[in-house]
Structures are given as C-alpha cells and as structure tokens.
Amino acid sequence: MALSEELPIFRAGYDLLENCIDLAKDLPKMLRYSVGGRMIDTNLQLLTEIYRANLQDDKNAALTELLVCHRTLKMLLRVVYREKVISSGRYADLLKLLDSIGRQATAWKNKSVNKEKTE
C-alpha cells in the first residue's frame, strides 16, 4: 500500500485545495465565508476520504463519500464561475483537476468493486 501523499489522486486533491484557498481569498465578502469556506471544508473532506480509502480494506464507503465531495466541489466552483468571480481559464484549470480526481476515484472504486466480486 502506497502512502496516501504519494498517490496521484492525493496530489491532485492537494493542488485543488491550494487553489481553493487562493480562490477563497479573492471572493467577495458575501461569498468568501459561505461558498469559499465550504469549498475548503469539502476539499479537506475529500483528502480525508482519500486517506480512509487508502487505509481500509473495504474502500467503497470512503470512495462513495469522496465522489460526493467531488460533485459538491464541482457545483460550488460552477456557482463561483457563474457569479463571474473567476475567469473561464481559471475555471477550466480547476475543472481539469476535478476531472482528474473524479476519473481516478471512479477507477479506484470500480477496481475495488471488481476485487470484491472475485473474492
């Protein structure tokens, strides 16, 4: 088992967290604490679920929660983009990170489910 910090999904999640922290600083006061704080909290939860999935034999619950965090972050970023707080380029960069996380989490979950079926 690899260390969680060495996994590509963790590195992408950590990069996303750094971007969310920077983004929250730039949000208008009305959105900074509600949307910005929620983005940071959700991203921290996403990283926590990566840790959990990496440590547990039954990964399904952690990976399902990870995917819920992924969808929540996607929705929050869409809100920020539609409020014209971030540029389309920055939004696209953040979506690339999110897409990478989503693909890796889905593949990890599918592998875990297939492993359980064969056992």
pLDDT value of residue 11: 95
Asked, for residue 103, whether it belongs to a domain, the answer is yes
- What single-letter amino acid sits at 30? M
Asked, for residue 94, whether it belongs to a domain, the answer is yes
SS3 86: coil
**Cβ neighbour number for residue 34 with a 10 Å cutoff:** 12
pTM of the model: 0.89
CATH code: domain of residue 100? 1.20.1440.60
Asked, for residue 117, whether it belongs to a domain, the answer is no
Asked, for residue 49, whether it belongs to a domain, the answer is yes
In tens, the pLDDT along 70-94 reads 999 999 999 999 999 999 999 999 9
C-alpha span between 56 and 116 (Å, rounded):
13
- pLDDT above 80 for 1: no
- Counted residue by residue, the chain has a size of 119
Asked, for residue 118, whether it belongs to a domain, the answer is no
Q: For residue 81, what are the domain limits?
A: 4-110
Domain count, the chain: 1
Asked, for residue 119, whether it belongs to a domain, the answer is no
CB 54 within 8 A of CB 111: no
Which is nearest to 38 in space by CA: 13, 81, 69, 82? 69
Asked, for residue 11, whether it belongs to a domain, the answer is yes
Residues 6 or more apart whose Cβ sits within 8 Å of residue 2? 54
